[in-house]
Structure 1
């Protein structure tokens, strides 16, 4: 690969990098590292709880005192009579008691059940675990079975939890890396793998009906089929024409045998300010929506600095998702909108929120973010399987998995009905500001239990006849040899863009003809492999382009594209993004709360 490999898709990817530490110097983590000592007959301990009030009362009954809260592990410090420790361990509301010196949040004692942002706890907080134990009309447990979720991203690595060839399908690789056979379908970036795990990850030894082992990993819809459409390279490079082509491919092939694509996850967005009724990317997702695909899009990670959602979340039809911050507690009553999550404006804000800060997902060893940002690794994870990240990317992926559960329960739901069910049953967020929280926080159990609504969205239809260049916003890929940016009304194959012609085909679901899109051959025409060996869409060599098959790379990405500018809850600076360097000014543990 060229050494001058600057970024593009590198942006929503930003949504996955972890922070350097879990607590401030001198804060709870430092307290937890103090040696366990007895003060008279009192011993310092860490109490983790299932019920904080009951646990606090239990400490008081022993003659002890409650100390500082340790919300990151759902616990608190305390001093209790040494002889009462055993009784305290058995008290209602108490999960565990450990001597203070035995607890090290940076050591080897991380447990998914003690981390409110692990998927072990996210599937409980959202109600997914309870949904899995319910049945669809055919008597099958609701696990997303038979529902295809398309993921347009950087690919999916076959790591544990995503290595089931019967459920994971590689659609076409439309990225620049498709021209290197050893990189085709490979997630060299790491963002797509993280999203895939949150949507439909499942360890091979997990029975979702009895999922009670914290070390096992389970996504929101553990039986759903995942169709990966790769558009991004190792540094995240992609052009908006590739993303539009990917959406069109999903629409064209939604009803193919064994795919049944009912949900599309797009943890991506540009900083385009073009009217959503004109913008081609906006029209592409709207066309998918009107063909019966529930499109879930990350709202963006611009916080309050941009008074609009990213594109295509700006389209009013799709489900735009913002990131909720659990504040490190199990309770939802104190949840707020994450500081980095885009607020939008009073005309168009997110539709709802979902967990999106410091979410623990699957790691893609050796990928760009894994190599360059080891702080994303979960301290204390002795398996080395997990990676922590924040962003509306994660929130969208969790919501996509929830949509798959709804569609198994009621396959006849329209996208409008799915959106109404998810928004009308969301949990209130009394501690969160109105702008940015949407209808509230995702609760899939309530949605499953709610009656089917009669609803139809009546927004003005988009035309898609706007500018492809404007749809890019400020993000461009560049030829690494000549340093020439791809700009104007031209796709990556050098083909002229005719918005009127394309928009008509996109609306009809006929933008693809075999392996051809916008007049050029992009991919093969068939799915090869089996459910036991793995299924991949055939690849082809791109020839006859004006850049002779060279790999483009990112040039002017400002950090707005892959909606991932906030790894592990802190925002990295998009203004310093050059494709090779990320700003580390917000990676200090001293400013993480």
Structure 2
């Protein structure tokens, strides 16, 4: 059997293709590439692969060689912001609203947990500190900054005698840049890092703008001045995080970036890299992407089944008031192409204020985003943006809080607790958004950090990540070690409606949502009922009476999961429907 070849590679009209070649080791992959006359450009040892430049003829010759598992395009990646933008110099500001309140992080801070000792690696466009911030505040005041690994330009430090060059050090594969030398030509990475670790405080409430203001931020620069990059640089950043995990106590990798899902998750090199980081004990938090609102729009690496995938909320800048919170139209929804339920959770991601430098008299250092959207900046330091990138950063901050309080937690335990503690959007006795739109619901830090959980509470229990990683797609037998998600879809008899469903081992079929077959826009239950679609002759009619079979009860005064699940006639149960019975605000979506 020939190796798996990405359709995009075979369809390319270029004379030389930038690819990622996977074998049983990166050394073997390099040897095979060289045997067909290709050029190895990078060692991606984390995923047993190399970056390689190949001609179309060399691709076909390599695919036929024993030992080659896959040849995949070195795909483009981009930041996951939607744009939207606001922005002095004390450590307090009245130009922002404290997103920490909307996820309960302020309550966790009040208990003394701020993410201290936890390092979050932000793989993005870099981090930049403005000259005034450097002079008057310092990196440890604004953001606890552990430095920046720069993978752009082959990871080579610039030459010269400037002060900035003096603050750089060359390592194998990247340039280490310390405070005052790190750069972010685009601005996205600085904004993301400032959402996670940010010591600015809201003037009205004295709440930190950062979700985990005590956490260390280690920047890994893999996106350029236009906010885009490629798989190879991004994977090199991730594998550097894995290599330095223990030395730097890297417990979280934030990936507020996305690429289109074009191959199975177990073949996609970026998904394999995040799985390897997860297996090494690092919690990976990835953006769902901004391709929503329709079904099947989750992007890579958020499409990977193991990691934590985050969709966004628009909280209408009313901290603590959930009544006007909605799912923004751009937040991507599931299922993934492999049939997995995503996103896992939601977090605030609309009009989030964080750092970004904008000084018209200093265009060399002003972020490209600030130049493109000057109306989103009110002063030189703070900028307002929207996107699942921002929601991902909020979630990474909450994960850092969890790991300070419980450093013994594994990534699978963190994922379980974060989802277990999440609060779904409700509308009366039913959910306002289906599970493929909101996952487990919005994150809530107090319960995720201090809640009581089942002793065996672990996510991804039905999958073996090590076996998954150990087998590529060299033979049909390898497929036995990979997974198909539980979500299936079925077209109605008249071809108008797609139903997303899953079936249990005992034959019960659960409906997860329905969408217009033309464009995959979601239907609410009222619209679906009015359409009266049929599947193989059976009409879908909503009836009530099935008790909710999941969730948990919190201590008195906190919300509980309760209520009824309506069922479809003919034995198909709708997987939704919860109501609150406690003291936190509820949100009904819209």
TM-score category, normalised to shorter length: 0.5 to 0.7
* 1:158-307 equivalences in 2 (<5 Å): 158-159=129-130, 160=133, 163-164=139-140, 167-176=144-153, 178-179=155-156, 181=158, 185-203=182-200, 213=204, 218-256=209-247, 259-305=248-294, 307=296
Larger strand percent = 2
Separation of aligned partners in 2, 1:178 and 1:213: 43
Post-superposition CA distance 1:517-564 (Å, at most 9, x none): xxxxxxxxxxxxxxxxxxxxxxxxxxxxxxxxxxxxxxxxxxxxxxxx
* 1:61-210 equivalences in 2 (<5 Å): 118=96, 120-134=97-111, 141-159=112-130, 160=133, 163-164=139-140, 167-176=144-153, 178-179=155-156, 181=158, 185-203=182-200
Q: Contact conserved, 1:326 with 1:332, CA < 8 A, in 2?
A: yes
| Alignment partner of 2:345 out of 344, 352, 367 | 352
When normalised by structure 2's length, the TM-score is 0.55
Q: Contact conserved, 2:80 with 2:289, CA < 8 A, in 1?
A: no
The 3 A distance-change label for structure 1 pair 238 and 329 is: same
Aligned to 1:319: 308
Q: Give the 3-state SS of the residue equivalent to 2:238 in structure 1.
A: helix
1:269, distance to aligned residue in structure 2 (A): 1.4
5+ unaligned residues in a row in structure 2: which ranges?
1-74, 159-163, 166-176, 359-365, 476-589
The 3 A distance-change label for structure 1 pair 9 and 444 is: farther
1:384, distance to aligned residue in structure 2 (A): 3.3
Separation of aligned partners in 2, 1:452 and 1:376: 41
Aligned to 1:23: none
Separation of aligned partners in 1, 2:230 and 2:433: 34
1:459, distance to aligned residue in structure 2 (A): 2.2
Q: For this pair of structures, how many residues does the alignment match?
A: 351
Q: Give the 3-state SS of the residue equivalent to 2:438 in structure 1.
A: coil
Deviating 4+ runs (over 3 angstroms): 8-11, 13-17, 159-162, 177-180, 182-185, 211-217, 327-330, 460-467
User: Quick check: 1:459 aligned with 2:448?
Assistant: no
Q: Contact conserved, 1:9 with 1:232, CA < 8 A, in 2?
A: no
The 3 A distance-change label for structure 1 pair 344 and 314 is: same
| Alignment partner of 2:354 out of 336, 353, 361 | 361
User: Quick check: 1:415 aligned with 2:411?
Assistant: yes
Separation of aligned partners in 2, 1:261 and 1:283: 19
Q: What RMSD, in angstroms, separates the aligned Cα atoms of the two structures?
A: 3.1
The 3 A distance-change label for structure 1 pair 197 and 16 is: farther
1:338, distance to aligned residue in structure 2 (A): 1.2
When normalised by structure 1's length, the TM-score is 0.55
1:362, distance to aligned residue in structure 2 (A): 1.3
Aligned to 1:445: 446
Post-superposition CA distance 1:385-407 (Å, at most 9, x none): 21111100000000000000010
Post-superposition CA distance 1:250-295 (Å, at most 9, x none): 0111011xx2011110001110221112211111111111111111
1:17, distance to aligned residue in structure 2 (A): 4.0
Separation of aligned partners in 1, 2:117 and 2:315: 31
Aligned to 1:482: none
Separation of aligned partners in 2, 1:10 and 1:272: 11
Which structure has the higher relative contact order (CA within 8 Å, separation 6+)? 1
